[in-house]
Amino acid sequence: MNRVARIVVCLPGALLLANAFGWVINPTLAAERLGMPILEGLALSTQVGNSGALFLSSAIMIFIGAWTERTAWLYAAAMAMMAAAIMRFIAYAAHGAEFASEFITVELLITLVLVVVAWHLNREAKGDNNNESA
């Protein structure tokens, strides 16, 4: 995987990792940044656990993809980001939530970056394999 591609995919990975740490270090601020009130009791556990897990697992998938050069990890992280955007849209369309354009835009941009880089790397790898066999 070329250096530029690694840097490009690691930038959203770093952003997601920072958000995950935010849920550990200061969940009140992390919730506020996402437009949520901080919950209490079991709801707080769910809020920190589910939100933190999304950010942490997505960041880890991105870093594994960059490190191992296995683009399936990048596609998996893209799927998590796309799913978040879709669920936000469903909340808006079906449940009367405010349309979260800023968050949806970020999730879609991260998805786009991950898919484009993974596609490019897969194409590059196929080109390398064709050159080796010639």
For residues 67 and 25, give the distance between their C-alpha atoms in angstroms, rounded to a whole number: 26
Reference 117, options 56, 58, 72, 85; nearest CA is 72
What does pTM read for this prediction?
Answer: 0.89
Burial class (CB in 10 A: 0-12, 13-18, 19+), 4: exposed
Cα-trace Rg, the chain: 17
Each residue's pLDDT tens digit, 7-57? 999 999 999 999 999 999 999 999 999 999 999 999 999 999 999 999 999
Q: Longest Cα pair distance anywhere in the chain, in angstroms?
A: 63
What is the residue extent of each domain of the chain? 3-133
Contact 70, 122 (CB under 8 A): no
pLDDT at 133 over 60: no
Least confident of 36-45, 64-73, 117-126: 117-126
pLDDT of residue 62: 98
Reference 103, options 120, 115, 86; nearest CA is 86
